[in-house]
Chain A
C-alpha cells in the first residue's frame, strides 16, 4: 500500500508575507491575526484579491473579488500587494526543506495557484514514529516553523490532495488506508477531484454533488458526458483518486540516488555538532557506494533548519572517490562554517549528487614515480579548488587558432583531463602574454619596418635589436562584434637598451589595408607579451 502525503498550505501567500516580514522589513501591524488582510493582484479586470487571511474570510470576503467591493464591505481591510514570484520561490524552498522526509517532493496546485507540496513516504513511516504518528509529526513540525497547514496521508495522490483540501475542517491531519479509501472519498464534493469549474457546474446540474454520487453511474456514460478539451476528464480523475489509473509525481529536484541522513531530537546549534556527526555520515555513504562499486564526484551536505529552510555545502572532485577521509578533508577546506545553523539544525543529510563507477586498481610493486605524480595531482587540484574556488585553479588548453590570444585558453583544472598537447609549430612565443593587448605609440619605418622607438606605459624605450615581422593573417570567418574589419598583424620581437624583450604587433598593413584616406583607421601598434 502506498502512502502519499499531501500538505495543503492554508493561505500560503499570507504565510510567506508573515514569515518574511520580521526579517527584511520593520514589523507590519497589518499582519496581526485579528486584522483582516487581503493581498491584491492587478489583472485585466482591475485590482482583485489574490489571498486572504482567516479574519478576512470570516468577514465574508472571497478570492477573486475586486478590491473596491471588498473595501466597500469592510472599510477596515488592510491591503498589501501580492507577489506570486516570491510565493513560488518560497514554496520551492519549502519543498527542498521537506526533503528531510522524502527524497522527491513535488509542488501541487489548485485553482488558486500553487499552494501545497506532495511526497511519497511508502515504507518510510517507521522512521518517523509509525504510520499513526506520521501526519501529526509533519503537522507539528510545520506549525513550529510558523506555517499553517493540513496534512493528509492516503494511498493515492488524488485522494491525498482531496482529503487535505476538502476533508473534515475540524481535523488538522487525516489518514486513510486502502480499505477506507472509497468511503472517505464518497463524502467529499466533486471539486475535490481536481477538475475544472465547468465540469463541476455541469455535474451539479445533473445533481451530482458528491463523489459518492458518481460511484453508481456507469463509467461509459460519465466519460461521454464530461470531457474537457485538453483531455482532463472526470473519469480519469476518479480513477486516479481510487487507484485504478497511474499518476506520477514530478519532483522539484532530481533525487540523488545515494543519500544518508539522520535526525536529531535536539537541534544542533553550532558547528561542533555538525563536525561531530559528519564522519559517521561519510562512513555510511561510503559503505553504500562501495556496495554498488560507485565513487562520488559531487557531494552535498545539507542541514535542515527548524525554521523551514535548508543550508548546504557542496564539493566536487576530479575523479570518483569513496574514501571518507578525503571527503572530510575537502569539506574542511571548503569551510564548514559556511553552513549557517540559524536557530538549529534538526536533520543532516549527506548526498552524492554525481557518481561514477570506480575500479580499484592494484598499485605497482615497483612504484613508478611518474604514475604516482599523476595520481597525486587530482587530489591536489581538488583541495586547491575547494579552498580557492573552481574558477581560480586553471590549466592552459591549446585551441586550434593562430591568433595568439585565442590560441590558448585557461580552463578550470577540476575535472578537466588535459588533452593530448600539440607539439607546437616551433614559432617563437613569449612566456608572458598580456590579455588584452595594450596600445603603444611606436615610431617605425613604412611600410613594414620594425619600430625604432616606442612608448609603453608612459615610458619611452629605444629599440636596439629586432626580429620580424611574423605576419598573421586575420581569421576572416570570424567577424568582429562591432563590425569593424579585422586586419593583418605583423609581429616583431624587439629588445630595448635595458635588455628586455617584447613582443609587439602592428595591426593593419600599409598599402593593402590602409590607403591613407581620412575615413579609414590608421594601423596601430600594440604590446602583446614579454619574452624571457
Chain B
C-alpha cells in the first residue's frame, strides 16, 4: 500500500461511492469544492442534502445560499467541534432521511471514517467529507473510497488506499462550474 498519493489520468468515476472526500486546494477554493461535492449526489429527483459545517467556516467563508442551489433541499447544522461534526454526519447518514451528507471535518482517523462508511451503507446515503486545508501527503490511511482536490477550473484526484487512481481536469470555462467533470476531459 503506497501511502504517497499520486495523480492519475483517468476520468473521475461518475458513480458516487459510499464515502468520499473533497478537499479545497486553497482557502478561496471552498466554493468550487462545495459545488463539486454537491455534484457527487446520486441522481434523484430532488436531493436532500445535509451539511454539518463548523461555525468558524460559516463565519469566514459565508453560508450556503439556497437561492444559488435550485433544486436542492438543504439542512444546515452548525457545529462547534470536530467530534460534533462527525456525530451529526453519522446521524444523518444512518437515518436514511438524506440523500447526501456533507461534513466540514478537518481530521478523521481510520476508525472514524470506517464508522461513517458503515453508517452510510446502513442508511443508503452518500457521505462526502469537505476539507478546507488541502494537502493529503501527511495523512495516514483512511477508509475513504475516493479523494478529490477541488480547485476552480482544475480538478485533480488523489487515490486513497483502496481507491482507483484517476484524475479529471476541466478547462477553465466561465460557463461551467468546476464541479462538472465530464468523463474523459483532458
Across the interface, name the chain B residue whose C-beta is closest to A495: B174
Contacting residues, chain A, for B70 (C-beta < 8 A)? 423-424
Asked, given contacts A396-B64, A430-B65, whether A531 binds B77 with beta carbons under 8 Å apart, the answer is no
Could you tell me the distance between the alpha carbons of A137 and B73 in the complex, rounded to whole angstroms? 58
Could you tell me the distance between the alpha carbons of A392 and B79 in the complex, rounded to whole angstroms? 7
Across the interface, name the chain A residue whose C-beta is closest to B51: A394
Contacting residues, chain A, for B97 (C-beta < 8 A)? 373-377, 379-380
Across the interface, name the chain A residue whose C-beta is closest to B180: A532
Cβ of B12 within 8 Å of any chain A Cβ, yes or no, is no
Summarize B's interface: helix, strand, loop or mixed. Answer: mixed
Could you tell me the distance between the alpha carbons of A423 and B66 in the complex, rounded to whole angstroms? 12
Max chain A CB contacts within 10 Å: which of B31, B68, B73? B68
Contacting residues, chain A, for B177 (C-beta < 8 A)? 531-532
Asked, given contacts A381-B75, A433-B68, A499-B172, whether A376 binds B31 with beta carbons under 8 Å apart, the answer is no
Contact B64 A431 (CB under 8 A): yes
Could you tell me the distance between the alpha carbons of A249 and B64 in the complex, rounded to whole angstroms? 52
User: Closest CB of chain A to B103's CB: distance in Å?
Assistant: 13
Stretch at the interface among A107-115, A203-211, A407-415, A477-485: A407-415
Cβ of A19 within 8 Å of any chain B Cβ, yes or no, is no
Across the interface, name the chain A residue whose C-beta is closest to B50: A380
Q: How many residues of B contact A (CB 8 A)?
A: 47
Identify which of A373, A398, A432 contacts B48 (C-beta below 8 A).
A373
Could you tell me the distance between the alpha carbons of A387 and B90 in the complex, rounded to whole angstroms? 13
Contacting residues, chain B, for A383 (C-beta < 8 A)? 91
Contact B174 A529 (CB under 8 A): no
Identify which of B28, B62, B74 contacts A395 (C-beta below 8 A).
B74
Contact A498 B28 (CB under 8 A): yes
Contacting residues, chain A, for B172 (C-beta < 8 A)? 499
User: Closest CB of chain B to A65's CB: distance in Å?
Assistant: 57
Contacting residues, chain A, for B66 (C-beta < 8 A)? 396, 398, 408
Contact B65 A499 (CB under 8 A): no
Contact A395 B75 (CB under 8 A): yes
Contacting residues, chain B, for A373 (C-beta < 8 A)? 48, 96-99
Identify which of A388, A394, A410, A530 contacts B30 (C-beta below 8 A).
A530
Contacting residues, chain A, for B77 (C-beta < 8 A)? 384, 388, 392-394
Could you tell me the distance between the alpha carbons of A231 and B146 in the complex, rounded to whole angstroms? 82
Identify which of A376, A384, A499 contacts B88 (C-beta below 8 A).
A384
Across the interface, name the chain A residue whose C-beta is closest to B172: A499
Could you tell me the distance between the alpha carbons of A377 and B140 in the complex, rounded to whole angstroms? 34
Across the interface, name the chain B residue whose C-beta is closest to A499: B153
Contact A432 B63 (CB under 8 A): yes
Contacting residues, chain A, for B92 (C-beta < 8 A)? 380, 384
User: Closest CB of chain B to A428's CB: distance in Å?
Assistant: 8
Across the interface, name the chain B residue whose C-beta is closest to A459: B28
Cβ of A500 within 8 Å of any chain B Cβ, yes or no, is yes
Cβ of B151 within 8 Å of any chain A Cβ, yes or no, is yes
Identify which of B34, B61, B69, B152 contacts A500 (C-beta below 8 A).
B152
- Encoded as 1 (CB less than 8 Å from any A CB) or 0, chain B from 53 to 68 comes to 0000000011111111
Contacting residues, chain B, for A166 (C-beta < 8 A)? none
**Which positions 128-186 of chain B face chain A at CB distance < 8 Å?**
151-154, 172, 174, 177-179
Could you tell me the distance between the alpha carbons of A172 and B40 in the complex, rounded to whole angstroms? 75
Cβ of A404 within 8 Å of any chain B Cβ, yes or no, is yes
- Encoded as 1 (CB less than 8 Å from any A CB) or 0, chain B from 89 to 128 comes to 0011001111100000000000000000000000000000
Identify which of A374, A424, A530, A531 contacts B67 (C-beta below 8 A).
A424
Asked, given contacts A410-B63, A429-B67, whether A532 binds B34 with beta carbons under 8 Å apart, the answer is yes
Cβ of A81 within 8 Å of any chain B Cβ, yes or no, is no
Contacting residues, chain B, for A407 (C-beta < 8 A)? 67
Contacting residues, chain B, for A448 (C-beta < 8 A)? none
28 A-B Cβ contacts within 8 A? A375-B97, A376-B97, A377-B75, A377-B95, A379-B97, A380-B95, A388-B77, A393-B78, A395-B76, A396-B64, A396-B65, A396-B74, A396-B76, A398-B66, A404-B65, A413-B75, A430-B68, A432-B68, A433-B62, A434-B62, A435-B62, A498-B28, A499-B151, A499-B152, A500-B29, A501-B152, A529-B68, A531-B31
Which 7 pairs, one residue from A and one from B, show the smallest C-beta to C-beta distance?
A: A532-B35, A499-B153, A396-B66, A376-B97, A532-B177, A530-B31, A429-B68
Contact surface of B with A, Cβ cutoff 8 Å: 28-32, 34-36, 38, 45, 48, 61-70, 73-79, 84, 87-88, 91-92, 95-99, 151-154, 172, 174, 177-179
Known: A410-B63, A532-B178. 15 other contacts (CB 8 A): A380-B95, A387-B87, A394-B78, A395-B75, A396-B76, A410-B76, A424-B70, A431-B31, A431-B65, A432-B68, A433-B63, A434-B62, A499-B178, A529-B68, A531-B31
